[in-house]
Structure 1
Amino acid sequence: MEHEASPALASIAVGTTIRDLLRNPPLDPVDMRILVAHVLDLSRIQLITRSEHALTTDEAMALRAALHRRMQGEPVAYIAGTREFYGLMFAVTPDVLIPRPETELLVDLALERLQPENHVLDLGTGSGAIAVSLAHTRPDINVTAVDISKAALTVAERNARHHAANVAFVHSDWYAALPGRRFDMIVANPPYIVEGDKHLSEGDLRFEPINALTDHADGLSALRNIVAGATPHLSADGWLLMEHGYDQAAAVRNLLATRGFSAVRSWKDLAGIERVSGGRLVNHFA
């Protein structure tokens, strides 16, 4: 692949202006804008207002290095170290999944159902994208976020500090470290890709933490555990909302109904895919 990338990398020369870089990008235009902004430490607006800036030697070398990494398949988010989610910029590392636009549906659904001063639990928080977005948008609520990965929690805590979001982080394997605690809502975006799925060896997924992508089983084991353990951790009329795979909605609705949840339904993302399913646990006694 090196011989194919060389002409593109050679086009990143000392003296090339930002305008020329973005007018004839050697890769996807959106990726190119992100990488140029990252390497030159410029905002989106500055890419326009400083469009006549010419690359220095160091800048050209750094940009070529970044482009080479992208051409080898590394996700732009890991190269730049950030990804936007729900209007906020999140730090990301290879220790966490890259936040994706479809997960914003889960945040929207949660915000529609939250009441003042509710207590929310985010299971498998990763970068903290869901928890921080909720806490930032609704500073009146109380958010607890857990993850089994200490490295992921370090990233999530960094994001919470950056956005002044009041989130309590707990190192836990799902509910294990939360005995006796109840919440008004539980949200989760757990690993749900089936073991051996071809997508795990394609695109950005090749670089993301495997344990956050797949349950190493049928794709439903984490979802089963979350539903099975929810009852003793939900307050009366509490909601459970979970993101899942494109073909798992019916199975997840069945898991919820079997455990006594009411108002069980699935919601579609902008692509028309049933992406989130949930239900309400009414008048239960654990």
Structure 2
Amino acid sequence: MKHRDYVLGLLLAGLWLPTAEANEGDGETLRFQVAAHVQAHADPQQDGSIAVQLSPSGKRQRLEGAADADGNSRWGLEDVDFDGYPELIARASVGMVNEAVAVYRFDVGSGEFRALKAVTHGHDQCGDLMGLTADAATRTLTASCRSGPMWYTDVYRFNGPQLYLYRGESVLMLGDTLNRALHWEETENQGPLAVWRTYDPSGKVLESAIGDGLGAPASGAPLVGLMASVLPARLFLFDRPGASSTQRYLVQGDRVEMLDEQDGWLQVRYRNPKRGAVTGWINVND
């Protein structure tokens, strides 16, 4: 079957949905299906907003974009909630490298578009959904942004209709004190160390691991921390950050997995040949 006949067949069947690439930034009307038996016509405006009319209800909305310094938005369509229907997405360049993004989902209950907001519990780095990309294979959304010389990544998932921060990072700020306690191999393209954390919808930390701040861990895979070797002849291992006494310690050459950081204390995991995995905290600043 020729491509033209195939597309015509999809149009007649009501199954053809325009893509973001086909419509983004061209100023033309976007016509698409937002739910069963609900169609939308969206017309980008000169002020960066977009005028939407729904049928058969006839409801009209005017949605704000993600305007750049000149007030321009690049409007497109993309299925970011993985339900088979596209969302309206506005993109705009911010500064030299960042991209502001606004996402509007159709809400069946109210019969109108609503801005997509994520629950982050204050753990996100980028704010909003900057530089948004969607991965249908893992059903995750990734936001990325640059602040100074550092790129940051926030990974989101849906819990029912609610979008929440699933995985994020915080740069490790321990400086040379960490280098005096542990040694790990650095690759040529590795960025600063960061603590990666996985969260549940309530914001509870499910796991953490220290790794490359510029290399986001694979979505859906367990976090794995970088391996390091103990440098001092004896390195005390405490039960919790701030503890003042312990009978446990590591010795020079022991291999540990770096897991977390809190107030200058580093959590590590040592695999004892006889006792199995042993987890504790070292006082990096001591």
Q: Which has the higher contact order (CA 8 A, sep 6+)?
A: 1
Higher strand share: 2
Please, what TM-score do these two structures have when normalized by structure 2?
0.27
When normalised by structure 1's length, the TM-score is: 0.27
Q: Which has the larger radius of gyration?
A: 2
